[in-house]
Amino acid sequence: MADELLSQDEISALLDAAKSGEIEEHLDSDEPEGINSQIQIRKYDFRGPGRIATSHRVSMQLLHGQLARNLGSAFSTVIRTLTEVECYSVEQLKYSDFLMSVSEPSCLVVLTMSPLKGLAVMEISPQLLFPVLERLLGGSGQGQAISNRAITEIEKIIIGQLLEIITEGLSEVWSKAVPDIKVQVERIETDPQYVQVVSSNETIMLVVFDVRFSQASGMISLCFPFPMVERALAGALIEQQFFANERSGGEYRPLIERGVSRTEVDVRARFAPTVVPIRDIISLKEGDVLALDVQVVGNQIVDKLQIKVGGKLRFMGKLGRCGKRRAVKITNVVEPDDYE
């Protein structure tokens, strides 16, 4: 053993040689050559572990990309101007980081997503909220956003029309992952400290939308606690569903149906035309009575009314009254082969 010990001079010489690069440092190990070289060390944050898989992020992007397209059409109808909505980003962060990014005061909407357990949070930035309120109240929506005050109780009621559209849109797209899901507004807050839906270190998925109309623009952010949506995203084949819908065209069917259902058309009810000679028309004067080709029995009109929708005959009806107003009761539907 004594022969294996190095003197102080020998130890100093070896250290000097290692520093100068004359000899290479190596690790003595019984492991096969090459194992140590494959070891990689990386930082790991135990307070916010990166547990969100790429498939979860892709599913969120697909779901809310569809939501953005739907909201663009719906917002345009409600605020009566062309509105563009883009799914700007899908991020992973801690809930405390999300709260720190929220301006104060702001518009924070707490959402339930039954049957999912937990609460989601939606933030509407003041730069978007106040121009939208102005449009809903009949203004141009081009005024400068008021960002230094909280919204009033009356404004919360007015903005409810917009929130209803968003919750309906969320229910529609999330039904691809969770059948029969129902998204509802639980409450509206203006102070972030009253919106502690999960612990500060909990991991969340944040979806940010960029909304633009006229000269106004702002953000809508959706915060989903990851434990709340993890199982739903893992259990649903969302990518395959979207690709199948694109091939079949079914992706756009709900959007088309909603747009058509809100279209206003002209509806007119009238009796069959009466034929009158030109000589009688020329001789008409104030006080004359023009007889129509309408059958009357016992002071009751028995002829049916023609009901035209968009200028096309669609129904036949009976004249009557509803309260203090004249009304028409639909008696039968005109078949397509009988259209004018």
Q: What is the pLDDT of residues 176-225, one digit of tens each?
A: 888 889 999 999 998 888 888 888 888 899 999 999 987 788 899 999 99
Q: What is the pLDDT of residues 110-162, one digit of tens each?
A: 999 999 999 999 999 888 888 888 888 877 766 555 567 788 889 889 898 88
Mean pLDDT of 34-59: 64
Return the pLDDT at 233. 79
Grade residue 43 by pLDDT with cuts at 50, 70 and 90: low
Q: Is the pLDDT of residue 243 over 70?
A: no
Return the pLDDT at 215. 74
DSSP label of 60: H
Mean pLDDT of 303-331: 86
Return the pLDDT at 73. 86
CATH of 54-261, one of 3.40.1550.10, 3.40.190.10, 3.90.950.10, 3.40.30.10: 3.40.1550.10
Q: Find the range with the poorest average confidence among 82-86, 191-195, 237-241, 335-339.
A: 237-241
Q: Is the pLDDT of residue 63 over 60?
A: yes
Return the pLDDT at 119. 93
HEC string of 187-250 equals: EEECCHHHCCCCCCCCEEEEEEEEEEECCEEEEEEEEEEHHHHHHHHHHCCHHHHHHHHHHHCH
Q: Tell me the C-alpha to C-alpha distance, in Å, between residue 172 and each of 51, 163, 255.
A: 27, 14, 10
Rounded to 5 degrees, φ, ψ at 24 are -95, 140
Q: Find the range with the poorest average confidence among 9-18, 19-28, 110-119, 204-213.
A: 19-28
Q: What is the pTM of this model?
A: 0.57
Q: What is the mean pLDDT of the chain?
A: 79
Return the pLDDT at 46. 58
**DSSP assignment of 289-323, as one string?**
----S--EETTEE-SPEEEEETTEEEEEEEEEEET
CATH of 267-285+292-338, one of 1.10.3720.10, 2.30.330.10, 3.90.1170.40, 3.30.565.10: 2.30.330.10
Q: What is the pLDDT of residues 264-290, one digit of tens each?
A: 788 888 888 888 888 888 888 888 888
Grade residue 27 by pLDDT with cuts at 50, 70 and 90: very low
Core vs surface per residue 120-145: b (16+ CB within 10 A) or e: bbbbbbbbbbbbbbbbbeeeebeeeb
The Cα–Cα gap between 123 and 110 comes to: 9
> What are the residue boundaries of the structural domains of the chain, listed by start?
54-261, 267-285+292-338
